[in-house]
C-alpha cells in the first residue's frame, strides 16, 4: 500500500500542473474547434484532462531519476545523480520474454503477491493510454491505441537508459499490451453502451443553412484532429 501511495504522489506532482497548464489553452482550443465546425462538452473536457493527467503521470513515475549516495563534499553533498553506467548494457534487457520467465520463477518460489502486482501494474498504467485516444477522437482504430501506448513506452524506455533505470524490451511489450487492453475496453463499451461513448466525441454544429461554421463544413466522419 505504501508503494502505491508513493507512486501516486510522484504522479500527481507532475500530473496536476500539467492539467492546469493544459486547461489554460481552453480559449484557443474552443476557437479552433469552432473554426472546424465542432463543439465539445463538459464530459469530454473532463475526460481529456484525465487523459493528460494519466499521460504525464506515467511519464513522471517512469522517468523519476534514480539517485546514488556517495561520500563526497561539494554543493550537492552526498547525493549525486547517476548518469554514468558501469557498462553500456548495465540494467538493459534486449531479450524478449526474459521478464516473463522471471515472473514465473518468482511465482513458483513464493513471491506471488509482489510479482502479480508488478505485472498487473505494468499493464494497468497503460490501459488509459489505449482507451482515451479511442474514446475522445473519431476515426478510432486499434492501431492508434497501440501507437500511442507503444510510442510512450518506447520513449520511456529510452529515457530510462539515461537516468540509470532499467531499460527492458519486455516492459515495452507489456506496456503496449496494456494499451491494447484499453482498446479492447473501448470496444466493450462501444458494443454495450454505444450512446454513452458518443458523449465523449465532438459534435458537428450545423449552421442555419445546413453548413458548418467557418467554412463549407468538414466531410462526413471528420473530427479525427479534434483538440
Quick: pLDDT tens for 93-125. Answer: 898 888 778 777 777 777 666 677 778 888 999
What pLDDT sits at residue 208? 34
The predicted pLDDT at position 73 comes to 52
Give the Cα separation of 66 and 77 in Å (integer). 16
pLDDT at 76 over 60: no
- Residue 90 DSSP symbol: T
59 and 14 Cβ atoms separated by less than 8 Å:
yes
Q: What is the mean pLDDT of the chain?
A: 81
How many Cβ atoms are within 10 Å of 61's Cβ, its own excluded? 21
* Residue 104, phi then psi, degrees to nearest 5: -65, -40
Name the one residue in this structure whose C-alpha cell is 463549407. Answer: 216
Helix segments in the chain, DSSP class H: 2-23, 26-35, 42-62, 98-108, 112-124, 127-136, 142-161, 169-192, 194-198
- Residue 203: which H helix or E strand, with range? strand 203-204
Structure confidence at residue 222 (pLDDT): 47
pLDDT tens digits for range 27-75:
999 999 999 899 999 999 999 999 999 999 999 888 876 555 455 555 4
For the chain, what are the domain ranges?
A: 2-204
Separation CA 125–CA 55 (nearest Å): 9
CA distance from start to end of the chain: 36
The pLDDT of residue 137 is above 70: yes
Amino acid at each position: 500500500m505504501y508503494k502505491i501511495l508513493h507512486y501516486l504522489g510522484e504522479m500527481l506532482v507532475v500530473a496536476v500542473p500539467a492539467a492546469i497548464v493544459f486547461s489554460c489553452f481552453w480559449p484557443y482550443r474552443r476557437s479552433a474547434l469552432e473554426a472546424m465546425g465542432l463543439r465539445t462538452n463538459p464530459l469530454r473536457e473532463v475526460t481529456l484532462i484525465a487523459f493528460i493527467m494519466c499521460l504525464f503521470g506515467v511519464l513522471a513515475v517512469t522517468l523519476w531519476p534514480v539517485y546514488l549516495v556517495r561520500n563526497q563534499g561539494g554543493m550537492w553533498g552526498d547525493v549525486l545523480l547517476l548518469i554514468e553506467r558501469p557498462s553500456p548494457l548495465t540494467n538493459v534487457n534486449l531479450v524478449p520474454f526474459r521478464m516473463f520467465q522471471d515472473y514465473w520463477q518468482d511465482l513458483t518460489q513464493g513471491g506471488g503477491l509482489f510479482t502479480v502486482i508488478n505485472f498487473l501494474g505494468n499493464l494497468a498504467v497503460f490501459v488509459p493510454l489505449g482507451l482515451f485516444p479511442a474514446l475522445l477522437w473519431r476515426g478510432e482504430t486499434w492501431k492508434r491505441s497501440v501507437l500511442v501506448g507503444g510510442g510512450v513506452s518506447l520513449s520511456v524506455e529510452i529515457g530510462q537508459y539515461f537516468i540509470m533505470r532499467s531499460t527492458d524490451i519486455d516492459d515495452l511489450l507489456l506496456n503496449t499490451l496494456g494499451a491494447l487492453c484499453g482498446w479492447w475496453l473501448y470496444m466493450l463499451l462501444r458494443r454495450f453502451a454505444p450512446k454513452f461513448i458518443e458523449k465523449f466525441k465532438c459534435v458537428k454544429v450545423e449552421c442555419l443553412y445546413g453548413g458548418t461554421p467557418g467554412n463549407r463544413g468538414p466531410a462526413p466522419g471528420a473530427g479525427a484532429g479534434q483538440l
